[in-house]
Amino acid sequence: MALIVHKYGGTSMGSIERIKNVAKRVAKWHRAGHQVVVVPSAMSGETNRLLGLANEISETPDPRELDMLASTGEQASSALLAIALQTIGIESKSFTGWQVPIKTDDAYTKARIRSIDADRIKRELNQGKVVVVTGFQGVDEDNNITTLGRGGSDTSAVAIAAAIKADECLIFTDVDGVYTTDPRIVPEAKRLNVISFEEMLEMASLGSKVLQIRSVEFAGKYHVPLRVLSSLTDPDLPIEVEKHSGTLITYEENSQMEAAVVSGIAFSRDEAKITLLAIPDKPGIAFGIIGPIADANIDIDMIIQNQSVNGTTDFSFTVSKADFNRAVQVIKEEVAPKIGAKDVFVEQQVCKVSIVGIGMKSHAGVASRMFATLANENINIEMVSTSEIKTSVLIEDKYMELAVRALHKAFELDKEPENTGIN
Ligand code: ASP
Ligand code: MG
Burial class (CB in 10 A: 0-12, 13-18, 19+), 385: middle
pLDDT level of residue 259 (50, 70, 90 thresholds): low
- pLDDT of amino acid 415: 86
Q: What is the mean pLDDT of residues 246-256?
A: 78
Closest by Cα among 70, 130, 139 to 99: 139
- Give me ligand 1 centre to Cα 136, in Å: 6
For residue 420, tell me if it sits in a domain. no
CA dihedral 214, 219, 222, 223 (to 10 degrees): -160
Evaluate whether 282 touches 313 at the Cβ level (below 8 Å).
Answer: no
pLDDT level of residue 73 (50, 70, 90 thresholds): very high
| Residue type for position 387 | S
Q: Are residues 319 and 194 in the same domain?
A: no
Domain end among 252, 279, 308: 252
- pLDDT of amino acid 29: 98
Task: State whether the beta carbon of 151 lies less than 6 angstroms from ligand 1.
Answer: yes
Residues with CB under 5 A from ligand 2 (ion): 9, 151
Q: Is the pTM of this model over 0.85?
A: yes
Which residues make beta-bridge pairs with 195? 249
Model confidence at 390: pLDDT above 70:
yes
Question: Which CATH number do you get for residue 380?
Answer: 3.30.2130.10
d(C-alpha 375, C-alpha 168), whole Å = 44
d(C-alpha 228, C-alpha 230), whole Å = 7
Q: What is the mean pLDDT of residues 14-43?
A: 98
d(C-alpha 337, C-alpha 98), whole Å = 51
Protein residue closest via CA to atom 4 of ligand 1: 47
Which residues make beta-bridge pairs with 315? 276, 305
Protein residue closest via CA to atom 5 of ligand 1: 151
- Indicate which atom in ligand 1 lies nearest the CA of residue 73: 1
Protein residue closest via CA to atom 6 of ligand 1: 151
Q: Are residues 202 and 263 in the same domain?
A: no
3-state SS, one letter per residue, for 199-260 = HHHHHHHCCCCCCCHHHHHHHHHHCCCEEEEECCCCCCCCHHHHCCCCEEEECCCCHHHHCC
Q: Are residues 135 and 34 in the same domain?
A: yes
How many other C-beta atoms are found inside a 10 Å radius of the C-beta of residue 16?
A: 11
Count structural domains, the chain.
Answer: 2
d(C-alpha 407, C-alpha 413), whole Å = 9
Q: Are residues 129 and 153 in the same domain?
A: yes
In a 13 Å sphere around the CA of 89, the CA atoms on its Cβ side amount to 3
Which of 49, 102, 110, 150 to mutate for ligand 1's pocket (most ligand atoms within 8 Å of CB)? 150
Task: State whether the beta carbon of 218 lies less than 6 angstroms from ligand 1.
Answer: no
β-pair type (312-319, 194-196): unpaired
For residue 187, tell me if it sits in a domain. yes
Closest by Cα among 349, 344, 286 to 321: 349
pLDDT winner (highest mean) among 11-15, 311-315, 384-388:
11-15
- pLDDT of amino acid 423: 39
Q: Are residues 214 and 308 in the same domain?
A: no
Note the residue count of the chain.
423
